[in-house]
Amino acid sequence: MRLQHWFAWSLMIAALPISATAQQPDLVSMGGHFQLDGKPIQIISGEMHYARIPREDWRARMRMARAMGLNTISTYVFWNLHEPTPGHFDFSGQQDIAEYIRIAQQEGLHVILRPGPYVCAEWELGGYPGWLLKDSTMLLRSTQPAFTAAASRWLDRLGKELVPLLANHGGPIIAVQLENEYGSFDRDKAYLAWQRDALIHAGFTGVRTYTADGDAELAAGTLPEIPAVVNFGTGEADSAFARLARFEPGQALMSGEYWAGWFDQWGGRHAHTDGARQARELEWMLAHGYSVNLYMFHGGTTPGFMNGANIDGGKYHPQTSSYDYDAPLDESGRPTPKFYTFRDIIAKYSHATPPALPATDSTGAIPSFALAPVAPLWSTLGKPVRTVHPRAMETFDQSYGYILYRTTLPTSGAQLLAVHDVRDYAQVYVDGVLQATLDRRLNRDTATITTAKAGAQLDILVENGGRVNFAKPLRGERKGITKAVTVGGAELLNWQVFTLPMAATPAPKRAPVHGAEPAFYRGEFTIDKPVDTFLDLSGWGKGTIWVNGHQLGRFWDIGPQLSEFLPAVWLHKGTNTVVVFDLMMPEQPGIAGMAKPVWK
């Protein structure tokens, strides 16, 4: 999704449910409106992302989409989830996007596919794999051969999964987006032509291909033969559709993203948007016969370390794990007041009674349970890599998590430490004692440290807080310490580097934890019946949490998010295991499950 100036939601269809056996449907523009398989159709779509919803809940969310009156869902595809290391692809389990799309068809929904490879979406590096940045010459989102070779390989592999599900092969995919809001990034038509040809080579042919941009960027973001849709936010429908109509006279008009909500960033306020105004605007669009994609219909949760970030006014703003988005379905999949309002409007203009609202169990509480410290981070370090100068995380074949840089201080006393381009959050220890915190959000990359003797051990523990997902800064989003470290103006050399990706649930051997040091904590709780809940982490500092092997996301006491959604499908009757990694010592090493999310 685009992250400057409000822009849009996903495509929705107010028409009869599709048939799973329909053959050769063709979505075309006729007389200023869409036709599908020769029949008029107004697309009323909702954006939902398979990666942000537990696989076991995919079908339930689809049924809620139908119950609001949607006939289409739209989804991005996240390259970095499916190719975690070069040439190794994963379409299993939670990554089984083909099954997600098959379920949509079974539930009577069309699908709009947004394969990228760039997706934005408040997602780590806009969906690009971090390993691309190991190549110091890599130029993301360009016609550079090193980039296009990797991106083409990815699209070809994705085609094997999803081309059989195109509408012209009997599947539900009626449209495929070419790139994503490229007009907000550049105007290189050769790049767009490469993207078009790469999609064709991967087999994405025979269905409507389109581009999506903000109204001011339409000319920069498309090719002459490719139809466009327009993205915008609350209050911009009239002007955005007017500009799209001038740009493509006589064509069917559609909002590729109508932003009827917004995302949260760490240190900011929880988003609350104007639902009444959005309802009036949705009604205006449908009354004019325009098609629309609500972004988001259901946001869900950004898993693990996959949140993105923005650069705004030169400052770095990482996004939260919660992707609630103030959407019609909340983070747990329950309908909000906005859901019912939109449902009534859609029913009015589709002239159809939506399916009955599926029964949904209430979210529930879990009594507070204690967690005990298991081991400090220091006791879990593996074998280091030695390097004269500190280097970015990617050069060590690491994309996510934490990385520790260790050396010795040549002099004693109070000294000014400068970490040149720390990415993104760092804690500085001298002989194991925390002396400073550095934070890219605050442009804080220097601190005064003190040591009583020369030869003291200096540890700089750095967290990748999420790579930028919008605009050209993403091209330089290498993590860790990307340049040099100086003390008193002199560069520190001869480092030991420990990679800490935390790609699986940590299971460290027990060791004493002393005070406020980064450490792992473990606890258990017992339940009679699994229930969707929100784990209250307001007493903890900054870190991440796993439950029964599932990494829920990040927490940070600066808010606005102070809880983590824990779906019932990841719990079991009886004992459930929780592991927490916290960079700080918690105020109270306990957690309770709440029926509602906790916001600061």
**Which residue numbers are catalytic?**
181, 257
Burial bucket for residue 6 (CB in 10 Å: 0-12, 13-18, 19+): buried
* Half-sphere exposure in the Cβ direction for 171 (13 Å, CA): 24
Query: How far, in Å, are 135, 478, 491 from residue 398 at the CA level?
Result: 13, 10, 24
Given a contact cutoff of 8 angstroms between Cβ atoms, the answer to whether 519 and 534 are in contact is no
Contact status, residue 172 vs residue 251, Cβ threshold 8 Å:
no
Number of neighbours of residue 413 by Cβ within 10 angstroms: 12
CA dist 530 to 32, 185, 571, Å? 50, 45, 6
Cβ contacts of 220-228, under 8 Å, gap ≥ 24: 220/182, 220/183, 220/186, 220/187, 221/179, 221/181, 221/182, 221/183, 221/184, 221/187, 221/192, 222/178, 222/183, 222/192, 223/178, 223/189, 223/192, 223/193, 223/196, 226/178, 226/192, 226/196, 227/29, 227/251
Strands 228-233 and 254-259: parallel
Find the angle CA(532)-CA(536)-CA(540) to the nearest 5 degrees.
145
| Cβ-based neighbours of 73, under 8 Å, separated by 6 or more | 10, 45, 46, 47, 48, 62, 65, 104, 109, 110, 111, 112, 297
CA distance 427 to 420: 14
CA quadruple 134, 139, 141, 146: dihedral positive or negative? negative
